């Protein structure tokens, strides 16, 4: 029997390499000024939402602009992120508790929370996976670390391991092709089904070995990224949640309030673009509910990309309630 393949991670920019990234630990906010300037046009006294709390990067800067009679509600499904930010913002939470509310849930829950219609001044969604989850191997989201195949953003729901043990081949092919745009989706799906008959896939490296067996070596890194992305999207229902949130939050915005969304891959950006376009449409006697402020998405500058390579794929779209 041959020895089990050993991996050494390829060198790439990490949190420890960049003092600015170290400050945020979870995720260095991308296009921070552009996001805040777009978000807070109705002033510093209203109700704002940060739908993707993470390490509190955007939340901290919104709070810096917000007056004490304003309110920020920040969401994250990850209990570690909530615990981190409770410590980070403990003074505000103790001294002016009405200014900040931290809620451990997916941002889609904002549409069901007891937030009245026409009451929110702005909503920010930064859809990037946190640097902490990518660089510290948490939850099996990164293929560079040998950990359990979890991939959930929070503690609830089906894990990637459970999904791969029960999914049918055709559905798995659909996930890999549809959510990852993976050209080798069919052969990878077939090999996963064959392999699990002998033993369940339990770790990220179990999955990694299969992918590397199915694709040419020079294409392996891209296929690994696409397959892991596809499974993460499927496990967390990310695309359905995104569309439901956009549609559901618009009624809760004040007139002139903004929804600001930053995506990092084409599937997310496509959903934001299409839903914005539909809600702004005048066709079929529909009454537009939003006005699109970005006909083309805003992208990070070359200077920002040099500081933070993960900004390279970011696309920022903004809409305002009519």
Residue pLDDT, tens place only, 81-96: 999 999 999 999 999 9
> Which pLDDT score is estimated for 3?
41
> Which pLDDT score is estimated for 286?
74
Residues facing residue 72 across a β-bridge: 48, 100
CA distance 47 to 40: 10
CATH of domain 17-131+239-321: 3.40.50.150
C-beta separation of 124 from 19 below 8 A:
no
Q: Which CATH class is domain 137-237?
A: mainly alpha
> Which pLDDT score is estimated for 272?
98
Write the burial class of residue 189 (CB in 10 Å: 0-12 exposed, 13-18 middle, 19+ buried).
buried
C-beta separation of 287 from 314 below 8 A:
no
> Which pLDDT score is estimated for 16?
39
> Which pLDDT score is estimated for 129?
77
Residues of the chain with pLDDT under 70: 1-27, 130-138
> Which pLDDT score is estimated for 44?
94
CA distance 32 to 43: 17
Give me the residue spans of the domains in the chain: 17-131+239-321, 137-237
Q: Is 293 helix (H, G, I), strand (E, B) or coil?
A: coil
- 261 secondary structure, DSSP code: E
Please report, for residues 98, 228, 267, the alpha-carbon distance to residue 94 in angstroms, rounded to integers and kept in the order given.
9, 40, 40
Compute the half-sphere exposure of residue 206: CA atoms within 13 Å on the CB side of its CA.
Answer: 19
C-beta separation of 120 from 45 below 8 A:
no
If you search the block for the tokens 């994250």, which residue do you land on?
76
> Which pLDDT score is estimated for 273?
97
Handedness of CA 108, 112, 117, 122 (dihedral sign): negative
Residue pLDDT, tens place only, 203-253: 999 999 999 999 999 999 999 999 999 999 999 999 999 999 999 999 999
C-beta separation of 56 from 84 below 8 A:
yes
Which helix (H) or strand (E) covers residue 180, if one does?
helix 169-180
What's the predicted TM-score (pTM) here? 0.86
Length of the chain in residues, anyone? Answer: 322
């Amino acid at each position: 029997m041959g020895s089990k393949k050993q991996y050494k991670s390829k060198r790439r920019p990490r949190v420890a390499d960049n003092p600015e990234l170290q400050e945020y630990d979870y995720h260095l906010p991308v296009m921070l000024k552009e996001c805040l300037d777009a978000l807070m046009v109705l002033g510093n006294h209203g109700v704002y939402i940060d739908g993707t709390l993470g390490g509190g990067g955007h939340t901290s800067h919104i709070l810096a602009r917000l007056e004490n009679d304003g309110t920020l509600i920040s969401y994250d499904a990850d209990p570690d992120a909530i615990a981190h930010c409770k410590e980070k913002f403990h003074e505000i939470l103790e001294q002016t508790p009405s200014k900040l509310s931290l809620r451990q849930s997916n941002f889609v829950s904002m549409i069901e929370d007891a937030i009245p219609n026409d009451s929110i001044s702005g909503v920010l969604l930064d859809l990037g996976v946190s640097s902490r989850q990518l660089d510290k191997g948490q939850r099996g989201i990164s293929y560079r670390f040998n950990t359990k195949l979890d991939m959930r953003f929070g503690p609830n729901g089906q894990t990637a391991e459970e999904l791969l043990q029960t999914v049918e081949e055709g559905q798995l092919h659909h996930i890999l092709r549809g959510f990852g745009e993976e050209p080798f989706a069919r052969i990878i799906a077939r090999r996963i089904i064959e392999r699990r008959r002998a033993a369940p896939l339990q770790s990220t490296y179990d999955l990694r070995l299969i992918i590397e067996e199915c694709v040419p070596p020079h294409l392996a890194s891209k296929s690994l990224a696409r397959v892991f992305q596809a499974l993460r999207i499927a496990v967390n229902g990310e695309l359905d949640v995104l569309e439901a949130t956009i549609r559901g939050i618009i009624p809760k915005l004040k007139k002139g309030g903004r929804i600001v969304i930053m995506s990092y891959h084409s599937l997310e950006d496509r959903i934001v673009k299409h839903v914005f376009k539909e809600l702004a449409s005048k066709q079929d006697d529909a009454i537009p509910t939003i006005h699109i402020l970005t006909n083309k998405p805003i992208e990070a500058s070359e200077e920002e990309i040099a500081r933070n390579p993960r900004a390279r794929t970011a696309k920022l779209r903004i809409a305002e309630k009519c």
